[in-house]
Amino acid sequence: MDQNEIVREEQTGLGSIRIADEVVKVIAGLASIEIKGVAGMSGGLVGGIAEMLGKKNLSKGIKVQVGEKEAAVDLFVIMEYGIRIPDVAAEIQSSVKSAIERMTGLSVVEVNVNVQGVSFSHELKEEEQKVK
């Protein structure tokens, strides 16, 4: 494992504990997609359209900056159509902060939520069911 990938290293009486940045990203991704209203993580804009990532690529839509004891997280998400974006974003911030702090011991100083797109698939499925 590359030394640059290590987010947190702690010495104990029995040796060291190392947490990679990828672990922090996955924790943030899982905490995000659990929130009702989040359709998925965004891999960026492709041709002006947000690319939605599957659940196997949770860490791709996340950037972390980590010091010795603190972390800042940037999330790139796609929201479901019809939700109130500020409310869902606030839930994401709270969930991500709590999960990272509880699981890694890092203090999360900020969680920035970047909404890259809106997914209409949930509403379209409901309309299709009404037609049948």
Q: What is the number of helices (H) and of strands (E) in the chain?
A: 3, 7
* Mean pLDDT taken over the chain: 81
121: domain CATH number is 3.30.70.1350
Average pLDDT over residues 58-62: 80
Give me the pLDDT at residue 8, please. 63
- C-beta of residue 100 within 8 angstroms of C-beta of residue 32: no
pLDDT value at 46 more than 60: no
- C-beta of residue 62 within 8 angstroms of C-beta of residue 76: yes
pLDDT digits (tens, 9 = 90+) for 63-118: 999 877 899 999 999 999 999 999 999 999 999 999 999 999 999 999 999 999 99
Count of structural domains within the chain: 1
pLDDT value at 44 more than 90: no
Which residue has better confidence, 84 or 123? 84
pTM of the model: 0.78
Average pLDDT over residues 24-36: 93
Which residue range(s) make up the domain with 91?
3-131
Give me the pLDDT at residue 1, please. 44
Give the integer Cα–Cα distance in Å for 115 and 98: 20
Which residue has better confidence, 28 or 132? 28
